[in-house]
Amino acid sequence: MSLKDPTSNLQPIDDDFGDSGADAAPRMYGPGYGGETMRPSFRYMLFVEHIDMCQNINKPTHYTTEYDTNNLVVRRGQEFIIRVTFSRLLTQQDDFQLEFLIGPNPSHNKGSLVVVTFNTRHGGPWSGRVINMEGPSAVLGITPSPNAIVGKFRTYVAILVGGEMQRTKRDQSTDLYLLFNAWCPEDPVFLPNEEERREYVLNDMGIIYQGNASTVTPRSWMYGQFEKGILDACIYILDSSRMPIFNRGNVIKLVRKGSAMINSQDDNGVLVGNWSNDYSMGTRPTAWTGSVKILLKYANTGVPVCFAQCWVFAGVFNTFLRCFGIPSRVITNFSSAHDNTGNLKTDLIFNMDGTPDRRNTRDSIWNYHCWNEVNMVRYDLPPGYGGWQVVDATPQETSDGHYRCGPASVNAIKKGLLCHPFDAGFVLLRLVNSDVVFLKRDKYGTLTPFKVDTTHVGQALYTKAVGSNAPVNVTQTYKYPEGELKPDEATMLRAEEFGCERDHSDVPAGQVCLLGADMKVEVAFQNHGNTPTSVERPLFLCCAAEKKVPLTVSAQEYMPRLSSQLSLHVVVTAQFGGQSVADSKCSLYFPKTCFHRSLWSLCLVLQVSDMPQVGQDMFVTVSFTNVLQIPLENVTVCLDGAGLTELRTHFYAIIPPQGSISWQETIRPRLSGVRVFIAILYCEALPYVSNLLNPLPLGLSSRTLKYEFGVLSILPDYYF
């Protein structure tokens, strides 16, 4: 990148052309204004009286009506119209053009200054036509090229007068935003299915799956890509990264830059990661309801926002992508490995007594990890490797010098083709197909493998279904079924051909619990020997026998040790004959919402009074009952909803056992259609409680809607 390449799209620019051209707008009032009499020379002069961006026509056809901005938002590769009213009727001798500029010091050869002509004279890469003439008004059609720069453009009308161009004055009301276009077959982000376009581009609410493979639980997330200020905030992120303006039409480069900028690891990006359970210097990751507050705070301050974990990085990145018109979705991988050595193995080291050696174990396994997928054509790869691509904004390892990941072809990952850019090997080795190797260190420091698990990592990958809140299992897009040994083994062998190591040693499900209750754990001991064996507890096992031992962990013991994920990992070790045995970690998971109502009775309930209608006040009541046997202190309750309200919060010093709270807010919806409220509650003892997402049938004839499922239909303002 040259030091002179423009990198700012939102920099205020008052005058693009200086004194190089006269104004094509009148410097005095036209006829009929103030009773002034036109001079003959002025009467025949051609100038622009008004520019109408025709937002009411353009926004619906470009699917941009929901963007809360005063300016026109359109998508590239698709025609939009502008009505230009001149001072008189146009003649054959009149020559004018439209000019669209982006960033400082725009130039033709960089694509940041685009000239659109309406006669036989050659213009720029965008095409133009005169659709209709209505007296002195010309209805003009402009079609941006399908690879045009994405961002905020300034609009001018230039008229050729006496051999020089006279341009309209700078007018911010005629600025327009240009986005990627999933409806345009020539755009690399084209998505042929209309239902998928509405889900992966237009849906401003989503579900991110958490938990583990046996207990998949939904978490609501407000993407809010259409909310006020979000489009400018996403452009500000690119400006902060100093990404050259002329590169912003390249979806691969824009996605890679976004992946790096959503985290702040090395470039002062949007979010600060924190996995320490100490969030005293910021907001705990479980407290966020969506992306809007995060992005606006970053755009207003320029300071990274504290704090985030993988689902927050993925949720904010998804907003960034959809805001620019790039089809995207959040993927959750259950049992996700972090292979620091990049050798197709996740090494878990144990001491002689069977306890985990945390000091020397560099690799780790997360109960889940979230990343994003984007849909695009990959012209830089062989045919067949376009479509969904993995991108990950959680800072883990560097790619070309920055903490980022992707885009990596999902199809290439499945086939083990690690040679294809970008970071396919990183995704395969760390997330999807890593072998888990259990190693024991003897008294001499030698490591010996005693167990290899080739199926634990990447047990299941889920995303939200198109058009519903149900989860969709997409595991088979990343890896072959475990029963199909030959294809999956071929993937791993192909990965080894690219220099990755595997372990070929010959060596010998989660449980759901009720939070606040004592935890029951059952340990099964098996004696595979030919002689009876005693195990320290004491426990006597006959040869070829199995015995199950129940253990109880009280709530007082485990509650202080719960992390923000409300899960525990248990390692069982036993001693016999001077030797030790250890079992792999067992995940004990506490569902976060009332999704598992028989096991978990904590849930926020929402009630809506009156029939919801755009522009009309409605009342929303959030209520909660603490059924635990412990008091909840310093409790925060949040209410949010895309197109409904900005984030609202309420604080309670204490909610005693069996105590209830109720909080009412007045809401005035902005957008019609099916809308979703997100309500969450959090405190130190209870990191996250929410309302359930699955919709119930809503009787709109009722004046009060019991609404714990968070979904309702908003009537348009012209309904009555």
pLDDT on residue 699: 31
Q: Is 338 a catalytic residue?
A: no
Q: Among the ranges 366-380, 554-568, 607-621, which has the highest mean pLDDT value?
A: 366-380
Q: What is the mean pLDDT of residues 342-365?
A: 75
Residue 600 pLDDT class (50, 70, 90 cuts): very low
Instruction: Output the six-digit token pair for 205.
Output: 């609410």
Residue 511 pLDDT class (50, 70, 90 cuts): low
For residues 287 and 425, state if they share a domain.
Answer: yes
Q: What is the mean pLDDT of residues 408-434?
A: 84
Q: Which residues pair with 137 in a beta bridge?
A: 85, 134
Residue 186 included in any domain: no
- Going from the C-alpha of 320 to that of each of 210, 228, 325, 374, the distances in angstroms are 21, 14, 9, 11
> Over 90: is that where the pLDDT of 649 sits?
yes
Choose one of 436, 467, 497: the last residue of a domain: 497
> Over 90: is that where the pLDDT of 491 sits?
no
Per the model's pLDDT, the better-predicted residue between 549 and 41 turns out to be 549
Q: CA-to-CA distance for 525 and 576, rounded, in angstroms?
A: 12
Residue 595 pLDDT class (50, 70, 90 cuts): very low
Per the model's pLDDT, the better-predicted residue between 456 and 293 turns out to be 293
| Identity of the amino acid at 118 | F
For residues 567 and 615, state if they share a domain.
Answer: no
Strand intervals (E) in 305-404 = 305-308, 328-338, 345-350, 364-376, 387-392, 398-399, 402-403
> Over 50: is that where the pLDDT of 543 sits?
yes
Residue 509 pLDDT class (50, 70, 90 cuts): very low
> Over 90: is that where the pLDDT of 114 sits?
yes
Per the model's pLDDT, the better-predicted residue between 394 and 565 turns out to be 394
Q: CA-to-CA distance for 259 and 160, rounded, in angstroms?
A: 45
Mean pLDDT of the chain: 82
For residues 413 and 540, state if they share a domain.
Answer: no
Q: What is the mean pLDDT of residues 614-625?
A: 91
Residue 574 pLDDT class (50, 70, 90 cuts): low
> Over 90: is that where the pLDDT of 364 sits?
no
pLDDT on residue 448: 84
Residue 608 pLDDT class (50, 70, 90 cuts): confident
From 62, 338, 369, 420, active-site residue: 369
Q: What is the CATH number of the domain that holds 710?
A: 2.60.40.10
For residues 101 and 137, state if they share a domain.
Answer: yes
pLDDT on residue 30: 38
Q: CA-to-CA distance for 703 and 717, rounded, in angstroms?
A: 18
Instruction: Give the total number of structural domains in the chain.
Output: 4
For residues 645 and 555, state if they share a domain.
Answer: no
For residues 610 and 572, state if they share a domain.
Answer: no
> Over 60: is that where the pLDDT of 537 sits?
no
Residue 310 included in any domain: yes
> Over 80: is that where the pLDDT of 505 sits?
no
Q: What is the mean pLDDT of residues 341-365?
A: 74
> Over 50: is that where the pLDDT of 17 sits?
yes
pLDDT on residue 449: 85
> Over 50: is that where the pLDDT of 33 sits?
no
From 184, 310, 323, 370, active-site residue: 310
For residues 70 and 161, state if they share a domain.
Answer: yes
Residue 595 included in any domain: no
Choose one of 119, 145, 179: the last residue of a domain: 179
- Give how far the C-alpha of residue 525 lies from the chain's centroid of Cα atoms, to the nearest Å: 44
Q: CA-to-CA distance for 269 and 258, rounded, in angstroms?
A: 9
Q: What is the mean pLDDT of residues 608-634?
A: 88
Nearest to 649, CA basis, from 657, 640, 658: 640
345 and 435 Cβ atoms separated by less than 8 Å: yes
Helices (H), 114-267: 194-197, 230-240, 251-261
Q: Among the ranges 269-273, 448-452, 639-643, 670-674, which has the highest mean pLDDT value?
A: 269-273
215 and 512 Cβ atoms separated by less than 8 Å: yes
Instruction: Output the six-digit token pair for 453.
Output: 């698990």
**Through-space distance between the first and last CA atoms of the chain, rounded to whole angstroms:** 57
> Over 90: is that where the pLDDT of 117 sits?
yes
Residue 712 pLDDT class (50, 70, 90 cuts): low
Residue 250 included in any domain: yes
Q: Is 594 a catalytic residue?
A: no
| Identity of the amino acid at 413 | I
Q: What is the mean pLDDT of residues 6-33?
A: 66
Q: What is the mean pLDDT of residues 325-350?
A: 81
Q: Is 122 a catalytic residue?
A: no
Q: Among the ranges 210-219, 278-287, 436-445, which has the highest mean pLDDT value?
A: 278-287
397 and 426 Cβ atoms separated by less than 8 Å: yes
Per the model's pLDDT, the better-predicted residue between 214 and 97 turns out to be 97
Residue 13 included in any domain: no
For residues 150 and 92, state if they share a domain.
Answer: yes
421 and 415 Cβ atoms separated by less than 8 Å: no
Residue 189 included in any domain: no
Q: Which residue range is the domain that position 131 belongs to?
A: 40-179
Residue 551 pLDDT class (50, 70, 90 cuts): confident
Lowest model confidence (mean pLDDT) among 358-372, 585-599, 621-635: 585-599
Residue 34 pLDDT class (50, 70, 90 cuts): very low
From 239, 363, 392, 423, active-site residue: 392
Task: Provide the whole-model pTM.
Answer: 0.84
For residues 452 and 418, state if they share a domain.
Answer: yes
Per the model's pLDDT, the better-predicted residue between 422 and 537 turns out to be 422
Residue 462 pLDDT class (50, 70, 90 cuts): very high
For residues 337 and 452, state if they share a domain.
Answer: yes
Task: Examine residue 656 and say whether the peptide bond preceding it is cis (omega within 30 degrees of 0).
Answer: no
Bridge pairing between strands 586-589 and 567-570: antiparallel
For residues 580 and 694, state if they share a domain.
Answer: no
25 and 45 Cβ atoms separated by less than 8 Å: no
For residues 259 and 370, state if they share a domain.
Answer: yes
Q: What is the mean pLDDT of residues 442-464?
A: 83
pLDDT on residue 425: 84
Choose one of 589, 623, 642: the last residue of a domain: 589
Instruction: Output the six-digit token pair for 339.
Output: 């292979």
Nearest to 700, CA basis, from 711, 688, 690: 711
pLDDT on residue 635: 95
| Identity of the amino acid at 671 | L
pLDDT on residue 612: 83
423: left (phi over 0), alpha (psi -120 to 50) or beta: left
| Tokens 């300034």, located at residue | 154
The proportion of the chain whose per-residue pLDDT surpasses 90, expressed as a percent, equals: 54
Per the model's pLDDT, the better-predicted residue between 175 and 459 turns out to be 175
